[in-house]
Copies of this chain bind each other. A is one copy, B any other.
Amino acid sequence: MKNGIPLKDRERVEVRLAGMGGQGMVLAGQVLARAAAVYDGKNAVQSQSYGAQQRGGPSQSEVVISTGEIDYPRVVSADILVALTQEACDKHFLNLRKGGILIVDSGLVDRVPTSHAYRVPVTELSRKATGRPIAASIVALGLLAELTGVVSEEALRATLAVESPRGALDLNLRALEAGLEEGRRLKGA
- Tell which of A36, A41, A46, A52 has the most Cβ of chain B within 10 Å: A52
Asked whether A42 lies within 8 Å of B52 as measured between CB atoms, the reply is yes
Distance between A76 CB and nearest chain B CB, rounded to angstroms: 12
Looking at A9-17, A26-34, A77-85, A124-132, the stretch in contact with chain B turns out to be: A26-34
* A25, CB-defined interface residue at 8 Å: no
Which residue in B41, B47, B50 is a CB contact (below 8 Å) of A52?
Answer: B41
Which residue in B43, B54, B165 is a CB contact (below 8 Å) of A50?
Answer: B43
Distance between A92 CB and nearest chain B CB, rounded to angstroms: 17
CB-nearest residue of chain B to A64:
B49
Asked whether A55 lies within 8 Å of B38 as measured between CB atoms, the reply is yes
Q: Which A-B residue pairs are the 5 nearest by beta carbons?
A: A47-B47, A37-B50, A45-B49, A41-B52, A44-B50
> A94 — which chain B residues lie within 8 A by C-beta?
none
CB-nearest residue of chain B to A49:
B45
Which residue in B30, B74, B165 is a CB contact (below 8 Å) of A26?
Answer: B30
CB-nearest residue of chain B to A43:
B51
How far, in angstroms, from A36 to B50 measured CA to CA in the complex?
9
Distance between A74 CB and nearest chain B CB, rounded to angstroms: 5
* A133, CB-defined interface residue at 8 Å: no
> A74 — which chain B residues lie within 8 A by C-beta?
73
